Structure 1
């Protein structure tokens, strides 16, 4: 009986590990700088906690996170949004993210799609 449970558990884990991510199924990848500029640049993104980001068309970043001021800069590189973000002047992130979009939801997948995701709502 224990062996059967292990086999079933292993099969379930394998199925989950091989399942496509939400981005691959429901979301459209933003893979070019032109698409990024058309859909996201100069618009406010809001996270689940009320934090904001604006990726300005001129390459700057602005916004608020908790009570801190967000600043920084971005460039488009090989299909990814690469940015340096600061909170109250202290660098907190340097990363290149793949972007996906469905309606007014934007998902950013860190480390060029190899790490965690964060969801934002476009305003």
Structure 2
């Protein structure tokens, strides 16, 4: 059961499909940082909390296990690699979009793949 939950979470962290809506692209690192700095990125269903730090680190927890990683901003995309309690989540550059002041969406493969939406708190 735990293995199934772990695999489900890894798939979710890689991103999953979401419905289209009024998200606007974030193209600049400064704009991205103004959205996430000092805030939690949350997906309550998975008890997932991430913090994207200005120094290039990613820290968080999901289903009781730590998430660590690093990120950079390249050519208008959020590029990251992460580790979830020993499970590698590979490098990917993602399109970042924002809806209002409390929702951000990441779409893998530079906006050509699946997406994951997070609440900002």
Q: Please, what TM-score do these two structures have when normalized by structure 1?
A: 0.76
Q: 2:40 matched to which residue of 1?
A: 44
Which of 82, 85, 110 is 2:79 aligned to?
Answer: 82
- CA RMSD, aligned part only? 1.5
What is the 5 A alignment of 1:1-123? 22=20, 26-49=22-45, 50-103=47-100, 104-123=102-121
Return the index of the structure with the highest Cα Rg. 1
Q: Secondary structure at the match of 1:118?
A: strand
Relative contact order, higher structure (CA 8 A, sep 6+) = 2
What whole-Å deviation, never above 9, does each CA across 1:31-58 have from its counterpart, x for those lacking one? 1101011111332100142201100011
Q: After TM superposition, what 4+ stretches of structure 1 lie above 2 angstroms from structure 2?
A: none
| CA distance in structure 1 between the partners assigned to 2:103 and 2:115 by the alignment | 12
Structure 2 gaps, min length 5:
1-18
| CA distance in structure 1 between the partners assigned to 2:38 and 2:93 by the alignment | 19
Contact 1:42 1:57 in 2 (8 A): no
Q: Please, what TM-score do these two structures have when normalized by structure 2?
A: 0.77
The alignment covers a number of residue pairs equal to 101
Q: Secondary structure at the match of 1:22?
A: coil
Q: Secondary structure at the match of 1:39?
A: helix
